[in-house]
Amino acid sequence: MIKPLKLDQLTKSFDLSNYDFKTTQDLEPSDAIIGQERAVSSLDFGLHVDGTGFNLYVAGQPGIGKMSAVVAFVKQRAAKQSTPLDWCYLYNFEDPYHPTIRSLPPGKARELEKDMDNLIEQIHEKLTRVFESDDYAERQNRITRDIKTEQESIYEQFNRNAEEAGFAVKHTPMGMMLSPKKETGEPMQEKEFNELPEDKQQELVQKRRELEQDLEKVSKDIRKAERSSQEKLRELDKQIAMNVIGGMIDDLIDKYKQTEPVIDYLKQVQEDIAEHIDMFKPSQQQKMSEQSPQAQVQFQMLKEQTFKKYSVNVLVDNGKDNGVPVIVERNPSYHNLFGRIEKEIQMGGYSTDFTMIRPGSLHRANGGYLILQMEDVLKNFLSWESLKRALTSREIQIEEVGERLGFLSTKTLRPEAMPLEVKVILVGRPIYYYLLHQYDEEFAELFKVKADFDTVMNRDDAHIKAFLSFVARFCQKENLRCLARDGVVRLLEHASRLAEDQEKISTHFGALADILRESHFWADKDKSKTVKAKHVQKAIDEKIYRSSMVQEKLQKMAERETLLIDTKGSVVSQVNGLSVMDMGDYRFGKPTRITVTVGPGRDGIMDIEREVKLGGPLHSKGVLILGGYLAKKYAQNLPLTLSARLVFEQSYSGVDGDSASSAELYAMLSALSETPLAQGIAVTGSVNQKGEVQAIGGVNEKIEGFFDLCKSRGLTGDQGVIIPAANVKNLMLKTQVLDAVKKKKFKIWAVTTIDEGLEILTGKPSGERQPDGSFKKDTINAAVEKQLLLFTENWQKLNSDNKHKLN
């Protein structure tokens, strides 16, 4: 018979005597990624390789610190790279609705912005002084006088011609009017004109026509002189403007001579200022001050728009950065990723311009790295499809969501697209990678590098040292008390418990960090200078206590026999199975009574859980395997005639998994052999058709769940749990169980076959086949085979009797 496991098989302690430290304060902190050699190799390759589509997907379970690890790793590399260019939007003088984007060396975009603001301010100040100067007024008056003199000369000549023709010229708001004169020189009235002889009237009419023709020519000459005057005044203003701003523009051109797009832009600015010089003239402002309030507001808005177009909208400023940018976008909405065009209300309507273009995370990450949570990207409308489009086209187009969907028809800005050169790093669960790789054709082309983060790391010297460095860094970073040696040992044991492996350490650093914080709290409350093992244990216990209310209630129900679970005695066809209940933040083992009834028939093994749709597919698979085991073991030479009913008693929720299949088989063999099973022993483990007991999950929780129930009723020394031998390496049991095992109050057996488990549960030999093919007498297997043969004979006899009755 298999002997119980020894104490040293139930857990594995850490020996840190070879490590030179008393507390974690003596250790060297490290920011290195711990225990993720495969992921580090993938990250290193993905960040170094160039080419389209070599973006990265970092896969791993939540809580293992992959996001913080990736950010730290990428920032280390980014700091060694050359700082990328600045980007800014400039006014498009040819097409204002399509602002142009320009790149400049790092820090130059913000410098250009300041230079342009200073330039416009200086130009406005100097032009104001020039236009208010006496010299400008004199030159303007000279042009005005010359034109006025020319106009007066034209008028005088026309007046003389009209005088000679006998007509007087009268100036009215409607223009100049001609009327015949009397001999006295006074204008002739209409009555007097009608009294003139016919030939005289005809003569005056003819002369009037000739004078009107001359008057039309005079009007043209006057307008021509006015246009000439306006042209000369504009030429004067332009000449003054060019004299004032030419030198300042030339200084900026010389400053930015290495940047051709900026030189072209400055020349356009110079030309545009000269064309719109009236906006800089104080006389224009004085004139508008005399208008209505609405007209003044409109003029002010026009003035602001005129001056605003000379501004520089700095989209990305890398002047203060060392290396390339590393942007972590926690809320990857469409606008947060791709930018937006803001609007403001003016005169009751929405208005915008190129200075209201705002960047997104992709703009800020251009030339560097953008890190995103995959789940957040998929949750945000349009973000995923737009991100793929940007990576494929290698440019960022800022557009309204409505325009992107084809719903927006109003006229708005269409900024020039920004060239994109960025590494996108998606961080998420493995399931998203598999699904996207299978169902999204573009995903495989754009994210060619996968970095897998493991949930465990090997329990070797190198990883233990790295773990200690992590603890030292975390305590230093969070300003926590340092851990004493025994505190570190207890934390490492807990990490192995989380890994469910004596040879592994968990990489769920989020959970371990929480334990460190809470351990600090209890050490502080205990007024201890260091965090000791008892403080770490207290943190673990308190965390369990906060989440174990359901477990305690179920245990109380079992203690009060509301839930029927025996922990003493022996019963036929009844066994205690073990399952794990997952409450999200806490898992615990739950004992469950499993019973079986058998009889002759052709129904086979009926799983009542499956029949009422409470059994999951894995559980149903485990039950079906039992039929294969029975057929191979006992029905090689005869048909299997069996009708069995199998049920989890007092189970009112779904059951899944095959970890109870060995317990179900023990109960069935007990029923067939009519051999009682020890109720103080619980069973876990799956089974295959050959009768081999296979590994299961949650072995620690299952053992501890049954132990807690037995302890509450009183340990007898005959109680324990049968587990698969393959799960011995997963044992990291709590101290209470170890103490009970040490005192021989509780036992744990590890079995490899069903026969080994049967002997423990029944205290009888299971029995092996002899050379003649039969099982040895007085064994469990012999009794099972005998019962199955009896079922077959009874069934055949019943069928034979039924046939005779029919005949």
Active site residues: 659, 702
Sign of the CA dihedral running 59, 63, 67, 68: negative
3-state secondary structure at position 584:
coil
Please state, in angstroms and rounded to a whole number, the distance separating the CA atoms of residues 512 and 34: 13
Sign of torsion over alpha carbons 660, 666, 671, 675: negative
Burial class from Cβ neighbours inside 10 Å (0-12, 13-18, 19+) for residue 183 reads exposed
What phi and psi values does residue 587 have, to the nearest 5 degrees?
A: -120, 145
CB atoms within 10 A of CB 347: 9
Q: Where are the alpha helices (DSSP H) in 356-446?
A: 361-365, 374-379, 383-393, 401-405, 430-439, 441-446
Burial of 562 (0-12, 13-18, 19+ CB in 10 A): exposed
Query: Who's near 478: CB < 8 A, 6+ residues apart?
Result: 513, 516, 517, 520
Q: How far is CA 163 from CA 157, 189, 398, in A?
A: 10, 17, 73
Task: Give bridge partners of residue 495 from the DSSP assignment.
Answer: none
Question: In sequence order, what are the residues at sequence separation of 6 or more whose Cβ sits closer than 8 angstroms to the Cβ of residue 396?
Answer: 338, 339, 360, 362, 363, 366, 390, 417, 418, 420
Nearest-10 crossing angle of helices 461-478, 509-525:
60
CA 797 to each of CA 237, 280, 353, 636, 791: distance values in angstroms, whole numbers, following the listed order: 125, 118, 97, 21, 10
CA 335 – CA 401 distance, rounded (Å) = 8
C-alpha closest to that of 123 among 39, 248, 228: 248
Q: Name 758's Cβ contacts closer than 8 Å, sequence gap at least 6.
A: 666, 669, 764, 766, 780
DSSP letter string over 180-199?
A: EB-TTSSBPPHHHHHHS-HH
**Rounded Cα gap, residues 63 and 223, in angstroms:** 84
Nearest to 719 by CA among 750, 697, 747, 695: 747
Residue 406: other Cβ atoms inside 10 A: 7
- Going by C-alpha positions, the residue among 768, 683, 689, 767 that lies closest to residue 727 is 683
Q: Using alpha carbons only, give the angle 393, 394, 397 rounded to the nearest 5 degrees.
A: 80
DSSP letter assigned to residue 380: S
Which residues have a Cβ under 8 Å from the Cβ of 207 and sit 6 or more positions away? 165, 166, 167
Place of tokens 């005399």: 290
